[in-house]
Chain A
Amino acid sequence: MSLKSCLSRIVFSGLSLLSVGGLSLVCCRSVVAADPIQLDPMLQLAEQARVAAIDRARPSAVSVFVPGGGGGGSGVLISPDGYALTNFHVTSPAGSFMRCGLSDGRVYDAVLVGLDPVGDLAMIRLLGRDDFPFATFADSLRARPGDWCMVIGNPFLLATNLQPTVTWGILSGVGRYQYPSGTLLEYADCLQTDASINPGNSGGPIYNADGELLGIVGRCSFEKRGRVNVGVGYAISINQAKNFLGYLRSGRIVDHATLGATVATDPDGGAVVSNILESSDAYRRGLRYNAEILEIDGRPVTTANDVQNVLGTLPSGWRVDVMFRDRGKTTRVQIRLNSVHGQDELLAKMSSALPPPPPVPDEPEEDSEGDESPKEGGPGEPLQPDQPETPPHPDKSPHGPSPHGPSPHGPAAQAIPKVVADMFVERRGYANYFFNLRQQDRFIDSLRGQFPGGAADETAQWVITGKTAEGTELEVRVADDQYAMVIGETSLQASGRGELFEAVDSDSILGIVPALDAWRTMLERGPKQFGESYYQGTMPLGGQRPLRDCMVALYGGMEVRWLMHPDTGLLECIEVVADRDSDPAELWIRHQDGKIAGMELRYGIDTLVQFDVTNWERKESAE
C-alpha cells in the first residue's frame, strides 16, 4: 500500500476514533451531503497533529527479519549510530545476525548486541549509517489509562515492502504486572493497550500521541480466538528499558534484580517483609521481618505487587534508595540488589526458553559447501512471526532445549555478511563479547586520560599523601606486591593480595590500598592484561542518577568496580568486594578543578576515613 493511501486510511479511521472522549456527537446521520463535508478547523488540527505524530514516529520503527525465513518481528531505533531495541524472543531464532528494514525502503544488516532474557529485551545494532532516524523517549511513568497511543511494526510480517503497519488505540492500563510465562520471562510495570498487537509486532515501538517512545511491545493475551489480537497487548515500559540500556550495550546477557527479601501485602495496607535473607545487603542495612517498605528507587510502594513492579524493572547489581518503616522508625538506606538467577542458572533457563530451530524449507539440506548459494528469506518463503503468549492458562508445552549461539541449526546460520561477522565475538555469558571489548577500550582510554600522576608506566609506584579534617597525616604506598599505609602513628602493611582480602573482609582501613592498587594496575596494564575483567553497564552511584559507567575486574580473589561519570568520564568511586555477603570497601573520589581533591573510604554506611589529597606522586619502581 502506498504511503498516501496508508495515511488516508489512518486519517479516516482517526475521524471515527477521535470522537471517543469528552462530549461528542455523531450527527452525520441526518446530514444531507450537498457540499463536500467541511471539517471543523479544530478537528482538522487534531487530525494533523496525529498525522504529524505518526510521521515523526514511523522512521524509527524497524521491521526485523530473520534471514532464511526463520521468522521476524519489529524493533525501534534509539540512536543515530543504529542501536535498536527489540524482544529477546524476536532475536533468539536469529542468533547473532538479522536483516532490518526501515520505512525508507532500505534493508540493513544488524548484529546482536545484548540480551535481557528475563525482561524479554534485546539490543541490536543496525549497520551502515551513522545518521539513522531514532525515537525520542517519553516518560512512561506519566502515561495514564485512556491516553491515546499507537503501535508501529511488522504484524504477521506484513512489512515485506518495508512499510510498517500503524495501529491506534488507547492505554488500557499502566503499571501492570504479568506473571512469568514459563520460567524466565517476567513483565513488570508494563503498559496494556487495546491498539491491535499481533504476532510480528513483538519488539516494536509503542508511541504516545506525540510520537514519543512509550515502550517496547512485548506479548499479547492470546486465547481461544486464535493467535490474533483480542484487545489486549502489553509493552515493556520505556523507563524499564532505560534502566537496562547501559547493561545491554555491554554485550552481556543480563539479569534482573532481587531484594533478597519477600514481601506480602498486609491486610491493613502496606508491603511488609515476610522473609529476608540474612546474607542480603538489605539485611545488612537493617531491613527486617515485618518492616514495611515505603519506597524503592524513588517510587512509592504500597503492595507486594508494587514492590515487584519496581524491582522487576531494575537490573541486578544496582544500588538503589529504599525507604522502610520498622517499629515506628522510618529509615532511608541504599541497598545493593542481587541477581535473580545465578549465571549458570540464567544461561540454562535461557537456552530452554529459546524457540525450537526455525523450520528448514523442504529442499534437501545442503552441506557447508553450499555457501555460494545462500538461502535468503524471500516473500515466498514461510515466515513465522514470533510472539509468546500470555498464559491465562499456561498450557503451552515447554520448548525443548535447543542449541544457541551464532550458528543455530538451520538456514539462518549461513552467509553472515563480513561486516556483521567482524562485529561479533562469541563468549560464554555474553550475547556479543565484541561490544564489551569496545566498552573496555573506552573505559581504559577515559581512565588513562585522567591519571592523576602523569602518564602510565610499567613499573611505577604510587605514593599518595593526605590530611584528614582533624589534621591526621596519611600516606599510602602501592607498587607491585608492596602495600603499605601510614595514618597518624599507625603503620599498616600487607605482603600480598591475600592479606588485602582479609583487610577488606574485616572492614579495615587498609581497604583503601587494594582500591588504589587495582586502579594503578589497571592503568598500567589495561583491562586485557589485568586479568578477568569486563564492562558491566551503567548504574546509579549511591542511589543517585545519572547512571555511571561501571567496569568490573577480578583482583586477587576480590571484585573491583570502577564507577565513572557518564559525561565527564571522571572516576568517582572504586568498590572492592571481598566477600559477597559482607560490605565492600568503597573508595569515593572527590574531584575539584580537574584534580583529585580528596578521598573517602566507606564500608556500608560507615565512613572510616576522609582526607584531602595533598600530594600524589608516581615514582619509578624502587628496583
Chain B
Amino acid sequence: MNPFRRIQLLSHQCGNAMQTATFQLGCVLVTAGLLTQSVVAQSSTDQSSSKRPPGRSAAPGAHDIQQRVVKIYGAGGMQGLEPYQSGFLVSPEGHVATAWSYVLDVEPIVVLDDGRRFESKIIGIEPSLELAVLKIDASDLPYFEVAKQLDAQWGDPVLAVSNLFGIATGNEPASVMQGMIAGVTNLDARRGTFRTPYRGKVLILDLIANNPGAAGGAVADSQGRLVGMLGKELRDSGTGVWLNYALPIDALRVAIGDIIAGRATTAAKEENPLLKRDQSHNLTTLGLVLVPDVLESTPAYVDAVPPGRPAARADLRPDDLILLVEGQRVADQKMLTDLLRRIDRRDAVSITIQRESEILPIRLEP
C-alpha cells in the first residue's frame, strides 16, 4: 500500500478523533504537524509506517493531490504566451477540467503526474467561466470529486498544485504550494484593458499561486478535497495588483457536469444579471445627466438634473459625484450604466454621493 495513502487514511481516522477533542477543548486550531505526529505515533507499532520523522510534512496528502493534477501543453510559445497550463482530473475516465485559454487553440497534450502523455480532445467549454473540459483516453485514474456543497471560507488552509512556470518538466509531478483562503469575494479584475467575463465569487488566496502556467491548477483543502480551480493571471481593476485567486468549485460544478454529460452548456447564474434595456434603470429613467463621457474612465459627475425626475426629486445637484450604487463602488460612468442595467426600473435605487466635502446617502424613487 502506498505509504502516502496510508498516512492520509490514518490522518482521517485520527483527524476525526482530534476534531471531537478540539471542540471539547475549545481550541483554535488542529495542526498538520500534530496530525502527522499522532499518525506516526499511532503507526509506530505498524511496520509499514513511513520512517520519516514526525511533523516533517505540511501536507501528507500532497502526493494524492499531485496525482490528480495534470500538465497541459498546447498553443503559444511566443513572448508572453506560455504554451502550457495546468488542469485536474474530474473523472476516472480521464475528464480534465482546465482554464479555457489560447493554449487550447490546438488539441492539447495532457501529461499525468507519472509522466504518461495523452492526446486530448476538447469536449466542451464554458466561456462565461473561462472553463474547458478535455478528455483523454484512459481509465482508472485518480480524480477529484466535484462536490456539491463545499463551505470554503476565509482562514481555511489550502494547497495549490499547478504547473506554474512549467517547472515540472518530463515526468515530474506538479508544484505544491501552501497558504490560506484570505477572502471570498466577487471578482473585479481585468486582463489588459478588458474586464474578465466572470464577475462572480472567487477565493482570494494568500499564496502567490496565479503565475504563468498555473491556470487550471487545483486548490484543495486540508483533506485533499477540491475547493477551486486556479484562474488565469489577472490584475485587480482598481489597483492594478496581480490577483491570487481561484474559481470556487461550486461555480464550476454545473458546467463541468453538463459538459461531461454532453448537455448544452449553461452560463453560471449571475447574482445580478443584466436586465433587458426596457426593464432596467438607466440614466434617463432616473433623470440624470452626467458630464460628457470622454475619458476611458470618466468620473460619474452630475452635469444637470432635469426637473421633475427622480434625481431632481431627491435633490441631486450638478457637480455631485456618484460614489456608490447599491453599496457597489462606481469607478466611472461605464460602470454606473452597467450597474443600473442590473436594477429593475420599478425599484428604488440607493446611491451615495460626494457633495463638496460631504458624503451623502440618496434614495432615488422611480
Residues of A within 8 A of B (CB): 15-29, 31, 37-40, 42-43, 45-46, 49-50, 142, 144-148, 169-173, 175-178, 192, 194, 208-210, 221, 223, 225, 229-232, 265, 302-306, 390, 392-393, 395
CB-CB under 8 A for A230 and B211, given A18-B32, A19-B32, A24-B31: yes
Nearest-CB distance from A226 to chain B (Å)?
10
The answer, yes or no, to whether B29 is at the interface (CB within 8 Å) is: yes
B27 near A39 with CB under 8 A, answer: yes
Q: Which of B57-115 contact A (CB under 8 A)?
A: 57-63, 66, 79-80, 82, 115
Which chain A residues lie closer than 8 Å to B39 at the CB level?
Answer: 22
Give the residues from 153 to 192 in chain B that come closer than 8 angstroms, CB to CB, to chain A: 153, 155-159, 164-180
Would you give the shortest CB distance from B181 to chain A, in whole angstroms? 10
Residue contact B22 to A40, C-beta cutoff 8 Å: yes
A395: which B residues are within 8 A, CB to CB? 79
Chain B neighbourhood of A171, CB < 8 A: 176
Interface residues in chain B, defined as those with a beta carbon under 8 Å from any beta carbon in chain A = 11-12, 15-16, 18-19, 22-23, 25-39, 52-53, 55-63, 66, 79-80, 82, 115, 153, 155-159, 164-180, 207-209, 211-212, 222-223, 242
- Is there an interface contact between A20 and B11, defined as CB atoms closer than 8 Å? no
Complex contact A305–B55 (CB within 8 A): no
Residues of B within 8 A of A170 (CB): 58-59, 62, 176-178
> Other than the known A16-B29, A26-B29, A40-B27, what 18 A-B pairs have Cβ atoms closer than 8 Å?
A21-B59, A21-B60, A22-B15, A22-B36, A23-B18, A24-B30, A145-B63, A146-B58, A146-B159, A148-B33, A170-B177, A172-B176, A173-B175, A194-B207, A210-B56, A230-B211, A231-B208, A232-B165
Of A38, A39, A194, A230, chain B has the most CB atoms within 10 Å of the CB of A194
Indicate whether A23 sits within 8 Å of B16 (C-beta atoms), given known contacts A39-B28, A148-B57.
Answer: yes
Q: Does B62 contact A22, Cβ atoms closer than 8 Å?
A: no
Asked if A225 meets B31 with Cβ closer than 8 Å, knowing A22-B15, A392-B166, the reply is no
* Pair A40/B25 contact, Cβ less than 8 Å: yes
Distance between Cα atoms of A28 and B32 in the complex (Å): 17
Q: How far is the CB of A197 from chain B (nearest CB, A)?
A: 11
Chain B hits for A231, CB < 8 A = 164, 177, 207-209, 211
Closest Cβ of chain B to A211, distance in Å, is: 12
Contacting B66 at CB < 8 Å: which of A145, A148, A306, A392? A145
CB proximity of A460 to chain B, nearest CB, Å: 55
Q: Quick check: A172 and B170 within 8 Å, CB to CB?
A: no
Q: Which of B12, B22, B175 has the most chain A CB atoms closer than 10 A to its own CB? A: B175
Contact across chains for A21 and B22 when beta carbons are under 8 A apart: no
- A351, chain B: closest CB distance, angstroms: 30
Closest beta carbon of chain B to A58's beta carbon, Å: 19
Contact B222 A24 (CB under 8 A): yes
Indicate the member of A15, A20, A142, A265 with the most B CB atoms within 10 Å: A20
Contacts of A25 in B (CB 8 A): 19, 22, 29-30
Asked if B173 and A22 sit within 8 Å, CB to CB, the answer is no
B29/A305 in contact, CB under 8 A = no
Q: Which residues in B have their C-beta under 8 angstroms from that of A145?
A: 62-63, 66, 173, 175-176
**A45 contacts across to B, CB distance below 8 A:** 34, 37
CB atoms of B156 and A147 under 8 A apart? no
CB distance from A196 to the nearest CB of B (A): 9
- B65 nearest CB across to chain A (Å): 9
- Which residue of the partner chain, among A42, A50, A146, A177, contacts B37 with CB atoms under 8 Å? A42
Residue contact B57 to A146, C-beta cutoff 8 Å: yes
- A51 to B89 CA separation, bound complex (whole angstroms): 39
- Which residues of B lie under 8 Å from residue A43 when comparing CB positions? 27-31, 34
On whether the beta carbons of B176 and A305 are closer than 8 Å, the reply is no
Beta-carbon contact of A146 and B29 below 8 Å: no
Check B166–A37 contact: CB distance below 8 A.
no
Expressed in whole angstroms, the minimum distance between the Cβ of B279 and any Cβ of chain A is 40
Task: Please measure, in the bound complex, the distance between the C-alpha atom of A507 and the C-alpha atom of B30, giving whole angstroms.
Answer: 69
Chain B residues, Cβ within 8 Å of A178: 167
Contact of A221 among B12, B60, B63, B165 (CB under 8 A): B165
With CB as the reference atom, state the residue of chain B lying closest to A148: B58
17 contacts between A and B (CB under 8 A): A18-B29, A19-B29, A19-B157, A20-B178, A24-B222, A26-B155, A28-B28, A40-B28, A146-B62, A147-B56, A169-B178, A170-B58, A170-B177, A192-B167, A221-B167, A231-B208, A392-B166
Select one of A24, A38, A223, A230 contacting B32, CB under 8 A: A24
Provide the bound-state CA to CA distance between A175 and B167, in Å: 11
Q: Which residue of B lies closest to A17 (CB)?
A: B178
Distance of B58 from chain A, by nearest CB (Å)? 4
A22 contacts across to B, CB distance below 8 A = 11, 15, 30-32, 34-36, 39, 59-61, 222-223
Residues of B within 8 A of A142 (CB): 52
Given A21-B35, A170-B178, A232-B175: A265 and B58 within 8 A (CB)?
Answer: no
Contact residues in B for A225 (Cβ distance below 8 Å): 242
CA distance A392 to B37 in the complex (A): 39
Bound together, the chains give a CA A306 to CA B170 distance in angstroms of 9
A39 nearest CB across to chain B (Å) = 7
How many Å lie between the Cα of A38 and that of B39 in the bound state?
23
